[in-house]
Structure 1
Amino acid sequence: MATLTIAAAQFAPVDDPVANLDTVRTAAVDAAARGADLLVTPEYTSYFTADIDDRFVAAAQPLDGPFVSGLRDVARESGIALVVGVAESADTPERFRNTLVAVLPSGDVAATYRKVHLYDAFGSRESDRIESGDPEQLPVFELGGVRVGLETCYDLRFPEVTRRLAAPETGAADVVVLPAEWVRGPGKEHHWRTLLTARAIENTVWVVGVGQTPPIGIGGSVVLDPSGVAVASAGASPGTLTATIDTTVTDAVRRVNPSLSLRRYDVALRTPPGGPGQR
Protein backbone atom coordinates (compact mmCIF):
# COMPACT_ATOMS: atom_id res chain seq x y z
CA MET A 1 0.00 0.00 0.00
CA ALA A 2 1.14 3.54 -0.81
CA THR A 3 -0.60 6.87 -0.44
CA LEU A 4 0.10 10.32 -1.85
CA THR A 5 -1.75 13.51 -0.99
CA ILE A 6 -2.06 15.77 -4.02
CA ALA A 7 -3.01 19.45 -4.04
CA ALA A 8 -4.40 20.90 -7.28
CA ALA A 9 -4.14 24.70 -7.45
CA GLN A 10 -6.24 26.32 -10.17
CA PHE A 11 -5.71 29.96 -11.11
CA ALA A 12 -5.21 32.17 -14.17
CA PRO A 13 -1.50 32.76 -14.87
CA VAL A 14 -0.50 36.18 -16.22
CA ASP A 15 2.13 37.50 -18.61
CA ASP A 16 4.69 37.95 -15.80
CA PRO A 17 6.83 34.93 -14.83
CA VAL A 18 7.92 36.55 -11.56
CA ALA A 19 4.31 37.09 -10.48
CA ASN A 20 3.41 33.55 -11.53
CA LEU A 21 6.31 32.11 -9.53
CA ASP A 22 5.03 34.02 -6.49
CA THR A 23 1.61 32.43 -7.05
CA VAL A 24 3.20 28.97 -7.12
CA ARG A 25 5.16 29.75 -3.96
CA THR A 26 2.00 30.83 -2.12
CA ALA A 27 0.14 27.75 -3.34
CA ALA A 28 3.00 25.49 -2.22
CA VAL A 29 2.98 26.95 1.29
CA ASP A 30 -0.79 26.41 1.45
CA ALA A 31 -0.51 22.88 0.05
CA ALA A 32 2.19 21.94 2.54
CA ALA A 33 0.03 23.25 5.39
CA ARG A 34 -2.77 20.97 4.15
CA GLY A 35 -0.45 17.97 4.33
CA ALA A 36 0.09 17.62 0.59
CA ASP A 37 3.03 15.70 -0.84
CA LEU A 38 2.61 17.08 -4.37
CA LEU A 39 1.30 20.35 -5.79
CA VAL A 40 0.04 20.45 -9.39
CA THR A 41 -0.63 23.75 -11.20
CA PRO A 42 -2.13 24.50 -14.65
CA GLU A 43 -0.64 24.40 -18.11
CA TYR A 44 1.28 27.58 -19.01
CA THR A 45 1.82 28.49 -15.34
CA SER A 46 5.06 30.33 -16.11
CA TYR A 47 3.54 32.67 -18.71
CA PHE A 48 0.17 33.12 -20.37
CA THR A 49 -1.69 35.49 -22.66
CA ALA A 50 -4.88 34.88 -24.60
CA ASP A 51 -3.02 34.64 -27.92
CA ILE A 52 -0.14 32.24 -28.48
CA ASP A 53 2.18 34.54 -30.39
CA ASP A 54 5.70 35.97 -30.38
CA ARG A 55 5.29 37.11 -26.78
CA PHE A 56 5.32 33.47 -25.67
CA VAL A 57 8.51 32.86 -27.65
CA ALA A 58 10.14 35.89 -26.03
CA ALA A 59 9.04 34.82 -22.54
CA ALA A 60 10.15 31.19 -22.89
CA GLN A 61 13.11 30.11 -20.76
CA PRO A 62 15.48 27.14 -20.76
CA LEU A 63 14.95 24.53 -18.07
CA ASP A 64 18.00 25.86 -16.22
CA GLY A 65 16.59 29.40 -16.37
CA PRO A 66 15.22 31.55 -13.55
CA PHE A 67 11.65 30.18 -13.51
CA VAL A 68 12.55 26.50 -13.11
CA SER A 69 15.37 27.46 -10.75
CA GLY A 70 12.72 29.27 -8.72
CA LEU A 71 10.52 26.17 -8.76
CA ARG A 72 13.40 24.13 -7.38
CA ASP A 73 13.78 26.65 -4.56
CA VAL A 74 10.04 26.53 -3.84
CA ALA A 75 10.11 22.73 -3.63
CA ARG A 76 13.04 22.77 -1.21
CA GLU A 77 11.52 25.53 0.92
CA SER A 78 8.05 23.98 1.12
CA GLY A 79 9.21 20.38 1.38
CA ILE A 80 6.77 19.14 -1.27
CA ALA A 81 7.03 18.08 -4.91
CA LEU A 82 5.70 20.18 -7.79
CA VAL A 83 4.33 19.59 -11.29
CA VAL A 84 4.15 22.91 -13.13
CA GLY A 85 3.49 23.94 -16.74
CA VAL A 86 6.18 26.16 -18.29
CA ALA A 87 6.98 27.84 -21.59
CA GLU A 88 10.37 26.36 -22.45
CA SER A 89 12.83 27.71 -25.02
CA ALA A 90 12.97 25.63 -28.21
CA ASP A 91 15.78 24.78 -30.61
CA THR A 92 14.36 27.14 -33.24
CA PRO A 93 14.14 30.85 -32.39
CA GLU A 94 10.56 31.36 -33.60
CA ARG A 95 9.11 28.58 -31.42
CA PHE A 96 8.82 27.43 -27.82
CA ARG A 97 7.92 24.19 -26.05
CA ASN A 98 4.86 23.57 -23.89
CA THR A 99 6.52 21.66 -21.06
CA LEU A 100 5.62 20.14 -17.70
CA VAL A 101 8.35 20.07 -15.07
CA ALA A 102 8.21 17.72 -12.07
CA VAL A 103 10.41 18.77 -9.15
CA LEU A 104 11.07 16.66 -6.05
CA PRO A 105 11.16 18.10 -2.49
CA SER A 106 14.95 17.93 -2.75
CA GLY A 107 14.83 20.43 -5.60
CA ASP A 108 15.90 17.85 -8.16
CA VAL A 109 14.00 17.71 -11.46
CA ALA A 110 12.40 14.24 -11.56
CA ALA A 111 10.79 14.40 -15.00
CA THR A 112 9.85 16.68 -17.85
CA TYR A 113 7.17 16.29 -20.49
CA ARG A 114 6.95 18.28 -23.71
CA LYS A 115 3.39 18.32 -25.00
CA VAL A 116 2.94 15.97 -27.94
CA HIS A 117 -0.58 16.72 -29.20
CA LEU A 118 -0.67 20.41 -30.07
CA TYR A 119 -3.99 22.22 -29.88
CA ASP A 120 -4.79 22.70 -33.57
CA ALA A 121 -8.55 22.57 -33.02
CA PHE A 122 -11.54 24.74 -32.13
CA GLY A 123 -9.98 27.61 -34.09
CA SER A 124 -6.59 27.48 -32.33
CA ARG A 125 -3.18 26.70 -33.88
CA GLU A 126 -0.58 25.87 -31.25
CA SER A 127 1.66 24.38 -33.92
CA ASP A 128 2.21 27.84 -35.41
CA ARG A 129 4.43 28.68 -32.42
CA ILE A 130 5.06 25.48 -30.45
CA GLU A 131 7.55 22.71 -31.09
CA SER A 132 5.87 19.40 -30.28
CA GLY A 133 7.44 16.82 -28.00
CA ASP A 134 8.80 13.41 -28.90
CA PRO A 135 5.88 10.92 -28.85
CA GLU A 136 8.22 8.27 -27.45
CA GLN A 137 8.47 10.19 -24.16
CA LEU A 138 7.26 8.20 -21.16
CA PRO A 139 7.05 10.82 -18.40
CA VAL A 140 6.54 8.85 -15.19
CA PHE A 141 8.31 9.50 -11.89
CA GLU A 142 8.03 7.98 -8.43
CA LEU A 143 7.11 9.88 -5.28
CA GLY A 144 6.57 8.14 -1.95
CA GLY A 145 6.10 4.78 -3.63
CA VAL A 146 3.46 6.15 -6.03
CA ARG A 147 4.16 6.35 -9.77
CA VAL A 148 3.00 9.66 -11.26
CA GLY A 149 2.41 10.06 -15.02
CA LEU A 150 2.26 13.37 -16.90
CA GLU A 151 0.20 14.63 -19.83
CA THR A 152 -1.06 18.03 -20.92
CA CYS A 153 -4.47 19.45 -21.87
CA TYR A 154 -5.28 18.43 -25.48
CA ASP A 155 -3.51 15.10 -24.92
CA LEU A 156 -6.65 14.16 -22.99
CA ARG A 157 -8.57 13.75 -26.26
CA PHE A 158 -6.20 10.96 -27.32
CA PRO A 159 -6.85 7.95 -25.06
CA GLU A 160 -3.62 6.25 -26.12
CA VAL A 161 -1.64 8.78 -24.07
CA THR A 162 -3.18 7.78 -20.76
CA ARG A 163 -3.20 4.10 -21.72
CA ARG A 164 0.54 4.18 -22.37
CA LEU A 165 1.17 5.91 -19.04
CA ALA A 166 -1.03 3.48 -17.09
CA ALA A 167 -0.33 0.14 -18.77
CA PRO A 168 1.87 -2.07 -16.56
CA GLU A 169 4.30 -2.94 -19.36
CA THR A 170 4.96 0.73 -20.22
CA GLY A 171 4.43 3.50 -17.66
CA ALA A 172 2.68 1.60 -14.84
CA ALA A 173 1.49 4.93 -13.42
CA ASP A 174 -0.70 4.86 -10.31
CA VAL A 175 -1.97 8.37 -10.99
CA VAL A 176 -1.98 10.55 -14.10
CA VAL A 177 -1.85 14.32 -13.57
CA LEU A 178 -3.03 16.56 -16.38
CA PRO A 179 -2.40 20.32 -16.18
CA ALA A 180 -4.56 22.17 -18.71
CA GLU A 181 -5.69 25.46 -20.14
CA TRP A 182 -9.07 24.07 -21.20
CA VAL A 183 -10.51 26.95 -23.20
CA ARG A 184 -14.11 27.93 -22.53
CA GLY A 185 -16.72 27.29 -25.22
CA PRO A 186 -19.94 25.42 -26.04
CA GLY A 187 -19.84 21.98 -24.48
CA LYS A 188 -16.24 22.32 -23.32
CA GLU A 189 -16.97 21.78 -19.61
CA HIS A 190 -18.84 18.61 -20.54
CA HIS A 191 -15.94 17.41 -22.71
CA TRP A 192 -13.41 18.06 -19.93
CA ARG A 193 -15.19 16.18 -17.19
CA THR A 194 -16.38 13.34 -19.46
CA LEU A 195 -12.95 12.68 -20.93
CA LEU A 196 -11.18 12.80 -17.58
CA THR A 197 -13.71 10.37 -16.14
CA ALA A 198 -13.37 8.05 -19.13
CA ARG A 199 -9.57 7.96 -18.79
CA ALA A 200 -9.88 7.00 -15.13
CA ILE A 201 -12.45 4.27 -15.77
CA GLU A 202 -10.91 2.67 -18.86
CA ASN A 203 -7.43 2.54 -17.31
CA THR A 204 -8.50 1.92 -13.69
CA VAL A 205 -6.11 4.69 -12.69
CA TRP A 206 -6.33 7.81 -10.53
CA VAL A 207 -6.62 10.98 -12.64
CA VAL A 208 -6.01 14.58 -11.55
CA GLY A 209 -7.09 17.35 -13.94
CA VAL A 210 -5.94 20.88 -13.09
CA GLY A 211 -7.31 23.77 -15.16
CA GLN A 212 -6.73 27.46 -15.58
CA THR A 213 -9.60 29.58 -14.31
CA PRO A 214 -11.57 32.23 -16.28
CA PRO A 215 -11.50 34.45 -18.21
CA ILE A 216 -9.96 31.98 -20.68
CA GLY A 217 -10.05 28.62 -18.90
CA ILE A 218 -12.95 26.81 -17.26
CA GLY A 219 -11.36 25.82 -13.95
CA GLY A 220 -13.09 22.57 -13.04
CA SER A 221 -10.13 20.85 -11.42
CA VAL A 222 -10.96 17.35 -10.22
CA VAL A 223 -9.46 14.23 -8.64
CA LEU A 224 -11.00 10.97 -9.88
CA ASP A 225 -10.48 7.53 -8.39
CA PRO A 226 -9.85 4.43 -10.56
CA SER A 227 -13.58 3.79 -10.88
CA GLY A 228 -14.19 7.33 -12.15
CA VAL A 229 -15.69 8.71 -8.93
CA ALA A 230 -14.78 12.32 -8.13
CA VAL A 231 -13.24 12.46 -4.66
CA ALA A 232 -12.56 16.21 -4.89
CA SER A 233 -13.67 18.84 -7.39
CA ALA A 234 -13.67 22.59 -7.93
CA GLY A 235 -15.82 25.13 -9.73
CA ALA A 236 -14.57 28.05 -11.79
CA SER A 237 -13.04 30.18 -9.02
CA PRO A 238 -9.33 30.19 -8.12
CA GLY A 239 -8.45 27.89 -5.25
CA THR A 240 -6.83 24.64 -4.17
CA LEU A 241 -8.32 21.20 -3.62
CA THR A 242 -6.61 18.22 -2.01
CA ALA A 243 -7.15 14.47 -2.12
CA THR A 244 -5.19 11.39 -1.13
CA ILE A 245 -4.26 8.80 -3.74
CA ASP A 246 -4.38 5.29 -2.25
CA THR A 247 -3.06 2.35 -4.24
CA THR A 248 -5.15 -0.12 -2.22
CA VAL A 249 -8.19 1.47 -3.88
CA THR A 250 -6.59 0.82 -7.25
CA ASP A 251 -5.94 -2.81 -6.34
CA ALA A 252 -9.55 -3.29 -5.25
CA VAL A 253 -10.94 -1.73 -8.45
CA ARG A 254 -8.66 -3.85 -10.64
CA ARG A 255 -9.72 -7.06 -8.91
CA VAL A 256 -13.30 -6.29 -9.90
CA ASN A 257 -12.47 -4.85 -13.34
CA PRO A 258 -9.16 -6.25 -14.68
CA SER A 259 -9.51 -4.42 -17.99
CA LEU A 260 -5.81 -3.61 -18.36
CA SER A 261 -4.87 -7.28 -18.20
CA LEU A 262 -7.76 -8.38 -20.45
CA ARG A 263 -7.09 -5.96 -23.33
CA ARG A 264 -6.04 -7.39 -26.70
CA TYR A 265 -4.42 -4.37 -28.36
CA ASP A 266 -1.19 -2.45 -27.81
CA VAL A 267 -0.57 1.26 -28.39
CA ALA A 268 1.53 2.01 -31.48
CA LEU A 269 3.11 5.32 -32.47
CA ARG A 270 2.10 6.93 -35.76
CA THR A 271 3.26 9.89 -37.83
CA PRO A 272 0.61 12.64 -38.01
CA PRO A 273 -0.30 14.43 -41.25
CA GLY A 274 2.20 17.10 -40.22
CA GLY A 275 2.37 20.85 -40.29
CA PRO A 276 4.71 23.42 -38.75
CA GLY A 277 5.94 22.26 -35.37
CA GLN A 278 4.33 18.84 -35.56
CA ARG A 279 6.41 15.66 -35.49
Structure 2
Amino acid sequence: MRIALGQLESGTDIAANLAAMDRFAADASGAGARLVAFPEYASYEKKVVDASFPAVAEPLDGPVCTALAGMGRRHGIAVVAGVVEAAGEPGRAYNTLVAFGPDGGRLAAYRKIHLFDAQGLGESQFIAPSPSTAPVVFGFEGVGFGLLTCYDLRFPELARALSDAGAEVLLACSSWVPGEHKLRQWLSLTAARAIENGVYVAGVCQAPPISVGHSVLVDPMGAPCTELGTQPAVAVVEVSADEVAAVRDRFPVHRQRRLGERLGDWGAPTVSASPPRRDPRAPL
Protein backbone atom coordinates (compact mmCIF):
# COMPACT_ATOMS: atom_id res chain seq x y z
CA MET A 1 0.00 0.00 0.00
CA ARG A 2 1.13 3.53 -0.69
CA ILE A 3 0.74 6.07 2.10
CA ALA A 4 1.69 9.74 2.22
CA LEU A 5 3.34 11.94 4.84
CA GLY A 6 2.00 15.49 4.74
CA GLN A 7 4.44 17.83 6.48
CA LEU A 8 2.65 21.09 7.23
CA GLU A 9 3.45 24.53 8.58
CA SER A 10 0.16 24.97 10.42
CA GLY A 11 -0.72 28.24 12.09
CA THR A 12 -3.76 29.89 13.61
CA ASP A 13 -5.67 30.31 10.32
CA ILE A 14 -7.83 27.18 10.32
CA ALA A 15 -9.13 27.74 6.79
CA ALA A 16 -5.57 28.10 5.46
CA ASN A 17 -4.49 24.94 7.28
CA LEU A 18 -7.39 22.98 5.79
CA ALA A 19 -6.59 24.35 2.33
CA ALA A 20 -2.97 23.17 2.66
CA MET A 21 -4.15 19.71 3.73
CA ASP A 22 -6.54 19.59 0.80
CA ARG A 23 -3.72 20.37 -1.66
CA PHE A 24 -1.48 17.69 -0.16
CA ALA A 25 -4.34 15.16 -0.10
CA ALA A 26 -4.93 15.81 -3.80
CA ASP A 27 -1.20 15.40 -4.54
CA ALA A 28 -1.02 12.20 -2.48
CA SER A 29 -4.07 10.69 -4.14
CA GLY A 30 -2.71 11.62 -7.56
CA ALA A 31 0.50 9.74 -6.72
CA GLY A 32 -1.42 6.61 -5.81
CA ALA A 33 -1.47 6.93 -2.01
CA ARG A 34 -4.44 5.34 -0.25
CA LEU A 35 -3.87 7.22 3.04
CA VAL A 36 -2.35 10.57 3.92
CA ALA A 37 -1.25 11.42 7.47
CA PHE A 38 -0.86 14.98 8.74
CA PRO A 39 0.80 16.20 11.96
CA GLU A 40 -0.44 16.85 15.45
CA TYR A 41 -2.42 20.11 15.70
CA ALA A 42 -2.76 20.13 11.90
CA SER A 43 -5.90 22.26 12.05
CA TYR A 44 -4.63 24.86 14.55
CA GLU A 45 -1.12 25.38 15.90
CA LYS A 46 1.02 27.93 17.74
CA LYS A 47 4.52 27.82 19.17
CA VAL A 48 3.10 27.43 22.68
CA VAL A 49 -0.20 25.80 23.59
CA ASP A 50 -2.34 28.44 25.30
CA ALA A 51 -5.94 29.38 26.08
CA SER A 52 -6.71 29.87 22.40
CA PHE A 53 -6.65 26.08 21.85
CA PRO A 54 -9.72 25.26 23.97
CA ALA A 55 -11.31 28.44 22.57
CA VAL A 56 -11.19 27.02 19.01
CA ALA A 57 -11.96 23.41 19.98
CA GLU A 58 -14.84 21.65 18.24
CA PRO A 59 -16.67 18.34 18.59
CA LEU A 60 -15.69 15.58 16.18
CA ASP A 61 -18.77 16.29 14.07
CA GLY A 62 -17.91 20.00 13.86
CA PRO A 63 -16.79 22.03 10.83
CA VAL A 64 -13.10 20.96 10.91
CA CYS A 65 -13.80 17.23 10.97
CA THR A 66 -16.60 17.68 8.44
CA ALA A 67 -14.03 19.31 6.15
CA LEU A 68 -11.56 16.46 6.70
CA ALA A 69 -14.23 13.87 5.92
CA GLY A 70 -15.14 15.76 2.75
CA MET A 71 -11.46 15.87 1.81
CA GLY A 72 -11.30 12.09 1.98
CA ARG A 73 -14.39 11.70 -0.17
CA ARG A 74 -13.30 14.31 -2.69
CA HIS A 75 -9.87 12.79 -3.28
CA GLY A 76 -10.72 9.15 -2.62
CA ILE A 77 -8.13 8.80 0.14
CA ALA A 78 -8.07 8.12 3.87
CA VAL A 79 -7.10 11.21 5.90
CA VAL A 80 -5.48 11.25 9.35
CA ALA A 81 -4.94 14.61 11.05
CA GLY A 82 -4.50 16.27 14.42
CA VAL A 83 -7.40 18.44 15.60
CA VAL A 84 -8.38 20.30 18.76
CA GLU A 85 -11.43 18.51 20.15
CA ALA A 86 -13.89 20.04 22.62
CA ALA A 87 -13.52 18.23 25.95
CA GLY A 88 -16.54 19.46 27.86
CA GLU A 89 -14.18 20.81 30.50
CA PRO A 90 -13.84 24.56 31.01
CA GLY A 91 -10.49 25.86 29.78
CA ARG A 92 -9.19 22.56 28.38
CA ALA A 93 -9.59 20.57 25.16
CA TYR A 94 -8.36 17.25 23.79
CA ASN A 95 -5.37 16.91 21.48
CA THR A 96 -6.95 14.38 19.11
CA LEU A 97 -6.03 12.45 15.99
CA VAL A 98 -8.92 11.59 13.70
CA ALA A 99 -8.97 9.23 10.74
CA PHE A 100 -11.54 9.34 7.95
CA GLY A 101 -11.89 6.85 5.12
CA PRO A 102 -12.27 7.58 1.40
CA ASP A 103 -16.03 7.38 1.91
CA GLY A 104 -15.88 10.11 4.56
CA GLY A 105 -16.70 7.73 7.39
CA ARG A 106 -14.74 8.07 10.61
CA LEU A 107 -12.30 5.19 11.05
CA ALA A 108 -10.88 6.14 14.46
CA ALA A 109 -10.20 8.89 16.95
CA TYR A 110 -7.33 8.96 19.45
CA ARG A 111 -6.95 11.48 22.28
CA LYS A 112 -3.34 12.06 23.31
CA ILE A 113 -2.41 10.14 26.44
CA HIS A 114 0.97 11.63 27.37
CA LEU A 115 0.87 15.42 27.45
CA PHE A 116 4.02 17.48 26.92
CA ASP A 117 4.72 18.84 30.37
CA ALA A 118 8.44 18.98 29.68
CA GLN A 119 11.16 21.28 28.34
CA GLY A 120 9.63 24.14 30.34
CA LEU A 121 6.20 23.77 28.68
CA GLY A 122 2.88 22.72 30.18
CA GLU A 123 0.50 21.28 27.61
CA SER A 124 -1.79 19.92 30.34
CA GLN A 125 -2.70 23.43 31.46
CA PHE A 126 -4.94 23.76 28.40
CA ILE A 127 -5.22 20.17 27.13
CA ALA A 128 -6.86 17.28 28.98
CA PRO A 129 -5.28 13.81 28.78
CA SER A 130 -7.30 11.01 27.26
CA PRO A 131 -9.55 9.42 29.89
CA SER A 132 -8.66 6.05 28.33
CA THR A 133 -5.21 4.50 27.90
CA ALA A 134 -6.49 1.81 25.52
CA PRO A 135 -4.50 1.57 22.27
CA VAL A 136 -6.33 2.85 19.18
CA VAL A 137 -5.81 0.75 16.04
CA PHE A 138 -7.86 0.77 12.86
CA GLY A 139 -7.77 -1.51 9.86
CA PHE A 140 -7.71 -0.04 6.37
CA GLU A 141 -7.41 -2.06 3.19
CA GLY A 142 -5.75 -4.97 4.95
CA VAL A 143 -3.24 -2.99 7.02
CA GLY A 144 -3.44 -2.21 10.75
CA PHE A 145 -2.67 1.41 11.65
CA GLY A 146 -1.95 2.48 15.24
CA LEU A 147 -2.26 6.07 16.41
CA LEU A 148 0.08 7.93 18.73
CA THR A 149 0.92 11.59 19.18
CA CYS A 150 4.32 13.28 19.55
CA TYR A 151 5.44 12.89 23.20
CA ASP A 152 3.88 9.39 23.17
CA LEU A 153 7.00 8.30 21.24
CA ARG A 154 8.99 8.51 24.48
CA PHE A 155 6.78 5.83 26.08
CA PRO A 156 7.67 2.50 24.43
CA GLU A 157 4.89 0.66 26.24
CA LEU A 158 2.28 2.46 24.13
CA ALA A 159 3.94 1.45 20.87
CA ARG A 160 4.11 -2.14 22.15
CA ALA A 161 0.42 -2.06 23.11
CA LEU A 162 -0.48 -0.78 19.64
CA SER A 163 1.61 -3.53 18.06
CA ASP A 164 -0.04 -6.15 20.28
CA ALA A 165 -3.44 -4.79 19.20
CA GLY A 166 -2.66 -5.40 15.52
CA ALA A 167 -0.81 -2.29 14.33
CA GLU A 168 1.61 -2.85 11.47
CA VAL A 169 2.13 0.87 10.83
CA LEU A 170 2.39 3.38 13.66
CA LEU A 171 1.26 6.86 12.65
CA ALA A 172 3.23 9.16 14.96
CA CYS A 173 1.62 12.51 14.22
CA SER A 174 3.73 15.16 15.91
CA SER A 175 4.71 18.75 16.47
CA TRP A 176 8.10 17.94 17.97
CA VAL A 177 9.30 20.95 19.96
CA PRO A 178 12.77 22.12 18.83
CA GLY A 179 15.71 22.25 21.19
CA GLU A 180 19.06 20.72 22.05
CA HIS A 181 19.43 17.26 20.48
CA LYS A 182 15.72 17.20 19.64
CA LEU A 183 16.07 16.34 15.93
CA ARG A 184 18.44 13.49 16.80
CA GLN A 185 15.96 12.23 19.40
CA TRP A 186 13.06 12.44 16.94
CA LEU A 187 14.87 10.31 14.39
CA SER A 188 16.23 7.91 17.01
CA LEU A 189 12.88 7.33 18.70
CA THR A 190 10.98 6.70 15.48
CA ALA A 191 13.63 4.13 14.53
CA ALA A 192 13.63 2.55 17.99
CA ARG A 193 9.85 2.08 18.07
CA ALA A 194 10.04 0.44 14.62
CA ILE A 195 12.85 -1.94 15.57
CA GLU A 196 11.35 -2.90 18.94
CA ASN A 197 8.01 -3.86 17.45
CA GLY A 198 8.75 -4.92 13.88
CA VAL A 199 6.50 -2.21 12.46
CA TYR A 200 6.69 0.76 10.14
CA VAL A 201 6.72 4.10 11.92
CA ALA A 202 5.43 7.07 9.95
CA GLY A 203 6.63 10.11 11.90
CA VAL A 204 4.73 13.07 10.46
CA CYS A 205 5.88 16.40 11.86
CA GLN A 206 5.14 20.10 11.64
CA ALA A 207 7.77 22.16 9.83
CA PRO A 208 10.03 24.79 11.48
CA PRO A 209 10.00 27.15 13.22
CA ILE A 210 7.31 25.64 15.43
CA SER A 211 8.69 22.13 15.05
CA VAL A 212 11.69 20.30 13.57
CA GLY A 213 10.27 18.99 10.30
CA HIS A 214 12.08 15.89 8.99
CA SER A 215 8.97 13.73 8.67
CA VAL A 216 10.18 10.19 8.18
CA LEU A 217 9.01 6.69 7.35
CA VAL A 218 11.07 4.00 9.08
CA ASP A 219 10.73 0.36 8.01
CA PRO A 220 10.41 -2.60 10.44
CA MET A 221 14.19 -3.09 10.41
CA GLY A 222 14.73 0.53 11.47
CA ALA A 223 15.91 1.85 8.10
CA PRO A 224 14.51 5.20 6.88
CA CYS A 225 12.56 4.78 3.63
CA THR A 226 12.14 8.52 3.16
CA GLU A 227 12.89 11.67 5.12
CA LEU A 228 11.66 15.16 4.35
CA GLY A 229 13.62 18.31 5.13
CA THR A 230 12.38 21.46 6.81
CA GLN A 231 9.87 22.76 4.25
CA PRO A 232 6.18 21.83 3.95
CA ALA A 233 5.98 18.90 1.55
CA VAL A 234 4.29 15.59 0.86
CA ALA A 235 6.09 12.27 0.36
CA VAL A 236 4.49 9.07 -0.91
CA VAL A 237 5.98 5.80 0.32
CA GLU A 238 5.21 2.06 0.28
CA VAL A 239 4.30 -0.04 3.31
CA SER A 240 3.79 -3.80 3.25
CA ALA A 241 2.06 -6.04 5.78
CA ASP A 242 4.07 -8.92 4.28
CA GLU A 243 7.31 -7.12 5.14
CA VAL A 244 6.12 -6.67 8.73
CA ALA A 245 5.34 -10.40 8.94
CA ALA A 246 8.74 -11.32 7.46
CA VAL A 247 10.67 -9.14 9.93
CA ARG A 248 8.67 -10.47 12.87
CA ASP A 249 9.47 -14.00 11.71
CA ARG A 250 13.20 -13.21 11.70
CA PHE A 251 13.04 -11.39 15.05
CA PRO A 252 10.08 -12.97 16.92
CA VAL A 253 10.24 -10.69 19.97
CA HIS A 254 6.45 -10.74 20.31
CA ARG A 255 6.59 -14.49 21.00
CA GLN A 256 9.81 -14.51 22.99
CA ARG A 257 9.43 -11.73 25.52
CA ARG A 258 9.09 -12.90 29.10
CA LEU A 259 8.07 -9.70 30.93
CA GLY A 260 4.37 -10.28 30.37
CA GLU A 261 2.30 -11.46 27.43
CA ARG A 262 0.51 -8.13 27.22
CA LEU A 263 1.10 -4.65 28.52
CA GLY A 264 0.57 -4.51 32.28
CA ASP A 265 1.05 -8.26 32.82
CA TRP A 266 4.44 -7.92 34.50
CA GLY A 267 5.99 -10.15 37.11
CA ALA A 268 6.57 -8.73 40.57
CA PRO A 269 9.93 -6.99 40.85
CA THR A 270 12.64 -8.62 42.93
CA VAL A 271 14.38 -6.08 45.14
CA SER A 272 17.21 -6.79 47.55
CA ALA A 273 16.32 -6.03 51.15
CA SER A 274 19.46 -3.94 51.38
CA PRO A 275 20.37 -2.78 47.89
CA PRO A 276 24.05 -1.94 47.60
CA ARG A 277 24.87 1.72 47.90
CA ARG A 278 27.67 3.49 46.12
CA ASP A 279 29.08 6.95 46.24
CA PRO A 280 27.66 8.67 43.11
CA ARG A 281 30.92 10.59 42.85
CA ALA A 282 32.99 7.40 42.68
CA PRO A 283 34.25 6.29 39.26
CA LEU A 284 32.36 3.45 37.64
Pairwise same-fold verdict (TM > 0.5): yes
AA aligned to 2:116 is Y
Partners of 1:135 and 1:203 lie apart in 2 by 22
**Does the Cα contact within 8 Å between 1:7 and 1:36 map onto a contact in 2?**
yes
Q: Which residue of 1 aligns with 2:160?
A: 163
Length, aligned pairs only: 263
AA aligned to 2:174 is A
Deviation at 1:71, TM superposition (A): 0.5
Cα deviations by residue, 1:101-154 (Å, 9 ceiling, x for unpaired): 000001000100000000000111011111100343321111110011000000
Q: Which residue of 2 aligns with 1:64?
A: 61
Q: After the TM superposition, which residues 74-153 of structure 1 pair with which residues of structure 2 at under 5 Å, given as runs?
A: 74-153=71-150
AA aligned to 2:217 is V
Deviation at 1:254, TM superposition (A): 1.4
Q: Which residue of 1 aligns with 2:208?
A: 214
Q: After the TM superposition, which residues 1-279 of structure 1 pair with which residues of structure 2 at under 5 Å, given as runs?
A: 4-167=1-164, 171-266=165-260, 267-268=263-264
**Does the Cα contact within 8 Å between 2:46 and 2:210 map onto a contact in 1?**
no
Partners of 1:224 and 1:140 lie apart in 2 by 19
Pick which of 246-255 and 90-99 moved more. 246-255
**Does the Cα contact within 8 Å between 1:176 and 1:206 map onto a contact in 2?**
yes
AA aligned to 2:166 is A
Deviation at 1:202, TM superposition (A): 0.6
Partners of 2:131 and 2:92 lie apart in 1 by 15
- After TM superposition, the score normalised by the length of structure 1 is 0.92
**Does the Cα contact within 8 Å between 1:61 and 1:89 map onto a contact in 2?**
yes
Q: Please, what is the CA RMSD of the aligned residues?
A: 1.1
Higher RCO, 1 vs 2 (CA within 8 Å, ≥6 residues apart): 1
Cα deviations by residue, 1:55-97 (Å, 9 ceiling, x for unpaired): 1111111111100000010000000001100011111121010
Partners of 1:230 and 1:53 lie apart in 2 by 34
AA aligned to 1:268 is G
**Does the Cα contact within 8 Å between 2:135 and 2:158 map onto a contact in 1?**
no
AA aligned to 1:63 is L
Partners of 1:48 and 1:200 lie apart in 2 by 27
**Does the Cα contact within 8 Å between 2:169 and 2:202 map onto a contact in 1?**
yes
Partners of 1:252 and 1:52 lie apart in 2 by 41
**Does the Cα contact within 8 Å between 2:152 and 2:158 map onto a contact in 1?**
yes
- After TM superposition, the score normalised by the length of structure 2 is 0.91
Cα deviations by residue, 1:187-234 (Å, 9 ceiling, x for unpaired): 000110101100000101111000000111000111111110111111
**Does the Cα contact within 8 Å between 1:44 and 1:85 map onto a contact in 2?**
yes
Partners of 1:119 and 1:136 lie apart in 2 by 16
**Does the Cα contact within 8 Å between 1:113 and 1:137 map onto a contact in 2?**
no
Query: Please, which runs of 5 or more residues in structure 2 have no aligned partner?
Result: 266-284
AA aligned to 1:112 is A
**Does the Cα contact within 8 Å between 1:213 and 1:237 map onto a contact in 2?**
yes
Partners of 1:134 and 1:245 lie apart in 2 by 31
Query: Please, which runs of 5 or more residues in structure 1 have no aligned partner?
Result: 270-279
Identical columns (%): 42
AA aligned to 2:25 is A
SS in 2 for 1:111: strand
Q: Which has the larger radius of gyration?
A: 2
